[in-house]
């Protein structure tokens, strides 16, 4: 007898929708954000301002990323198993301990679908950070021990979910008639716990880093934010402010400029006070406003190659330096002309310089007299190949650091000491699964589309330079 299994993308879509409903109940301004995004996206499509190049409207409107934080390798393993059943795989390694100016003692990866068709069905992703209590720049030995002891005895998964994960891994999926119950348990995993927090330990960790307190002094994990995707983030920023919602001082990532949107632009509004119960050292329970969560929104553009990324990072560093040296200067007007000077003004230009990843399509047929069929660059120049951007599906450490920091109530503390070395391998070992390289994923997708396009033009990919 065989049971019918739910396709992972359906589970993922159901999970993303249920999370979105739950988060709207917990953080009401989030619903305002989603409504404004939907209005802007609908207008962009109806007016023809959006050409469809960075994803279908259905995908963009449903798209969200979440952020969660866990306390140990074992907890990372648990969430990796849960996301695995939803068709989400760990991609990329981010060391926020290095990227952030303030105290952010975590390393991260992002769980997401990796196949292009799967991404288009539902692109839900979760930026997942793990606390590093062994890092002496932040934690002394006693604090490390205390965090590890508390994290070791807590259980992130609600009762029943571990058994469901075991069964799903064994059967290769979740039976259709169990999908709803599975999704409900998955959502519960990321709800805010209501048990009183230990005030003394919370304050001890908060003095080191609010992020550490949010992880190590909580009884479980919770979604920190849920981020919709918008087609015009400048318009979104203006409309949210007009609605009286105070946004952080700017949009992070590349500026708005005349050329194509590269990578990712993000902005957010400040964490809202949420009343939480805390237990004082004398045993009394008191209500306290805590600021840990907030609203974020993003616009996604074309994925950059390593070379493109190097150029982008250099540009950003130069702009930052100039900003620091120029009193009264602001990011957008300063950065926009620098980007225009340093990057090609259209997708074809980005493709020809090898700066971004594209989906290739056959263009004008190749004629015998063309003489252009020898390289990808010549075929692009001759209009024999057309390109569509491959959407950037990942995150930016600098923006992520900015998002973490906009969320902190103080600088926290960091000493000079040896940091605990962490890399993609450390996370892979904890999760018992490979951390995928985002560049390799984009490159494989580009290569496959080039081969199909070349064959459609009657060319042998093996004979075309750069294919
Ligand atoms: C995650 C911050 C990173 C982003 O969009 O870059 C992030 C967090 O605050 O836990 O979500
Ligand atoms: Ni985020």
Q: Is the CB of 224 under 6 A from ligand 1?
A: yes
Residue 3's pLDDT is what?
A: 86
Mean pLDDT over all residues of the chain? 93
Measured from the alpha carbon of residue 224, the closest ligand is: 1
Measured from the alpha carbon of residue 109, the closest ligand is: 1
466 falls in which pLDDT band (50, 70, 90)? confident
Residue 193's pLDDT is what?
A: 86
28 falls in which pLDDT band (50, 70, 90)? confident
373 falls in which pLDDT band (50, 70, 90)? low
Give percent above pLDDT 70 in the chain. 97
List pLDDT tens digits, range 1-25.
Answer: 578 999 999 999 999 999 999 999 8
Residue 208's pLDDT is what?
A: 94
List pLDDT tens digits, range 378-420.
Answer: 999 999 999 999 999 999 988 888 878 776 666 777 777 777 8
Residue 190's pLDDT is what?
A: 95
Locate the ligand 1 atom nearest the alpha carbon of residue 106 and give its number.
10
263 falls in which pLDDT band (50, 70, 90)? very high
Residue 420's pLDDT is what?
A: 84
All domains of the chain, ordered by start, with CATH?
8-303+392-436 (3.10.180.80), 304-348 (no CATH), 357-390+437-467 (no CATH)
Residue 370's pLDDT is what?
A: 62
pLDDT of residue 231 exceeding 70, the answer is: yes
Find the 214 Cα to ligand 2 centroid distance in Å: 16
Residue 368's pLDDT is what?
A: 66
Q: Is the CB of 252 under 6 A from ligand 1?
A: no
List pLDDT tens digits, range 137-156.
Answer: 999 999 999 999 999 999 99
List pLDDT tens digits, range 189-200.
Answer: 999 888 999 999
Q: Is the CB of 94 under 6 A from ligand 1?
A: no
117 falls in which pLDDT band (50, 70, 90)? very high
Residue 400's pLDDT is what?
A: 87
Task: Pick the residue whose CA is nearest to atom 5 on ligand 1.
Answer: 400
List pLDDT tens digits, range 59-80.
Answer: 898 999 999 999 999 999 999 9
pLDDT of residue 40 exceeding 80, the answer is: yes
List pLDDT tens digits, range 313-355.
Answer: 999 999 999 999 999 999 999 999 999 999 999 999 999 999 9
Task: Pick the residue whose CA is nearest to atom 1 on ligand 1.
Answer: 67
List pLDDT tens digits, range 419-454.
Answer: 788 999 999 999 999 999 999 999 999 999 999 999
Residue 371's pLDDT is what?
A: 61
Q: Are 264 and 298 in contact (CB under 8 A)?
A: yes
Residue 372's pLDDT is what?
A: 58
Spatial distance between the Cα atoms of 278 and 199, rounded to a whole number of angstroms: 5
Average pLDDT over residues 277-298: 90
Looking at mean pLDDT, say which of 24-28, 77-81, 241-245 comes out highest: 77-81
Q: Is the CB of 292 under 6 A from ligand 1?
A: no
Measured from the alpha carbon of residue 92, the closest ligand is: 1
Residue 312's pLDDT is what?
A: 96
Locate the ligand 1 atom nearest the alpha carbon of residue 296 and give its number.
5
């Amino acid at each position: 007898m065989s049971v019918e299994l739910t396709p992972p993308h359906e589970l993922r879509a159901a999970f993303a929708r249920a999370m979105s409903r739950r988060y709207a109940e917990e953080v009401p301004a989030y619903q305002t954000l989603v409504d404004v995004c939907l209005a802007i996206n609908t207008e962009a499509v109806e007016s023809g301002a959006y050409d469809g190049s960075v994803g279908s409207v259905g995908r963009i409107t449903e798209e969200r990323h979440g952020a969660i934080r866990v306390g140990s390798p074992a907890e990372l393993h648990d969430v990796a198993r849960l996301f695995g059943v939803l068709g989400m795989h760990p991609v990329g390694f981010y060391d926020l301990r290095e990227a952030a100016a303030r105290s952010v003692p975590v390393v991260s990866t992002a769980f997401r679908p990796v196949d292009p068709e799967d991404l288009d069905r539902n692109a839900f992703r979760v930026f997942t950070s793990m606390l590093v209590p062994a890092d002496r720049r932040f934690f002394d030995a006693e604090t490390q021990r205390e965090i590890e002891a508390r994290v070791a005895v807590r259980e992130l998964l609600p009762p029943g979910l571990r058994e469901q994960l075991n069964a799903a891994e064994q059967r290769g999926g979740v039976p259709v008639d169990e999908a709803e119950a599975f999704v409900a348990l998955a959502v519960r995993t990321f709800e805010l716990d209501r048990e009183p927090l230990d005030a003394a330990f919370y304050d001890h960790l908060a003095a080191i880093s609010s992020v550490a307190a949010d992880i190590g002094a909580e009884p479980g994990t919770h979604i920190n934010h849920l981020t919709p995707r918008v087609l015009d983030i400048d318009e979104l920023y203006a409309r949210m402010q007009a609605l009286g919602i105070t946004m952080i001082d700017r949009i992070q990532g590349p500026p708005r400029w005349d050329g194509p949107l590269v990578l990712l632009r993000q902005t957010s509004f400040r964490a809202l006070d949420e009343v939480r119960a805390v237990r004082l050292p004398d045993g009394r329970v008191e209500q306290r406003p805590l600021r840990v969560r907030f609203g974020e929104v993003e616009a996604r553009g074309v994925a950059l190659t390593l070379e493109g990324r190097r150029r982008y990072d250099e540009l950003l560093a130069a702009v930052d330096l100039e900003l620091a040296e120029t009193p009264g200067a602001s990011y957008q007007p300063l950065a926009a002309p620098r980007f225009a000077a340093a990057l090609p003004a259209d997708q074809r230009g980005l493709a020809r310089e090898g700066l971004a990843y594209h989906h290739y399509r056959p263009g004008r047929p190749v004629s015998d007299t063309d003489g252009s069929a020898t390289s990808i660059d010549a075929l692009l120049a001759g209009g024999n190949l057309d390109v569509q951007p491959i959407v950037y599906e990942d995150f930016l450490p600098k923006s992520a650091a900015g998002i973490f920091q906009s969320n902190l109530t103080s600088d926290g503390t960091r000493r000079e000491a040896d940091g605990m070395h962490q890399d993609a391998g450390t996370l892979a070992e904890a999760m018992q699964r490979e951390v995928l390289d985002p560049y390799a994923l984009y490159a494989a997708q580009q290569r496959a589309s080039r081969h199909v396009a070349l064959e459609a033009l009657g060319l042998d990919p093996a004979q075309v330079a750069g294919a």
